[in-house]
């Protein structure tokens, strides 16, 4: 009942996936120039290839760091300690994880508001939590 597996791509594969569609415009532009402005074909080829290369370099500098590992571990929250903001029961409750407020449930009985808890698992957009036990750490 946990979260579904996520396909994990390398940052390079992600970058290629988000860039390839824009690079497909280059051959389209060249074909259009060939049929509709053959006198500009050489110019179009040079400008579009140089422009595409500059585009890829700039996009790489701006975007690549955001594609590094960790982005797909964003909601891999098991083991994180957080605090309840209201009573957590089998049917209702909320916890604050960092700056975010999440729906939470407890299968081990009611947990009072303000208690420190540990995330056991995530089921879609609900967290399953248990009371934090100082002696276990």
Query: Is residue 6, in this structure, part of any structural domain at all?
Result: no
Q: What is the CATH number of the domain that holds 120?
A: 2.40.50.140
Query: Is residue 108, in this structure, part of any structural domain at all?
Result: yes
Is residue 93 a contact partner of residue 104, using CB atoms and an 8 Å limit?
A: yes
- Domain endpoint, select from 26, 47, 72: 72
Residues of the chain with pLDDT under 50: 1, 71-72
Query: Is residue 37, in this structure, part of any structural domain at all?
Result: yes
d(CA 104, CA 119): 9
Residue 133 is predicted with a pLDDT of 86
Structure tokens at 57: 């370099």
- Domain endpoint, select from 32, 50, 72: 72
Parent domain of 123: 77-132
Is residue 63 a contact partner of residue 15, using CB atoms and an 8 Å limit?
A: yes
As for how many domains the chain has, the answer is 2
On whether both 58 and 101 belong to a single domain, the answer is no
Residue 26 is predicted with a pLDDT of 94
This prediction has a pTM of: 0.47
């Amino acid at each position: 009942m946990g979260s579904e597996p996520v396909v994990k791509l390398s940052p390079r594969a992600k970058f290629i996936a988000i860039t390839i569609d824009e690079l497909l415009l280059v051959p389209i532009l060249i074909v259009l120039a060939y049929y509709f402005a053959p006198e500009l074909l050489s110019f179009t080829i040079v400008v579009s290839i140089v422009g595409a290369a500059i585009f890829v370099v700039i996009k790489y500098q701006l975007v690549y760091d955001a594609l590094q590992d960790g982005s797909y571990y964003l909601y891999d929250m098991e083991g994180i300690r957080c605090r309840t903001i209201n009573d957590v029961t089998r049917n209702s409750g909320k916890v604050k994880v960092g700056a975010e407020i999440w729906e939470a449930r407890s299968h081990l009985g009611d947990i009072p508001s303000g208690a420190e808890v540990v995330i056991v698992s995530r089921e879609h957009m609900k967290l399953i939590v248990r009371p934090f036990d100082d002696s276990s750490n």
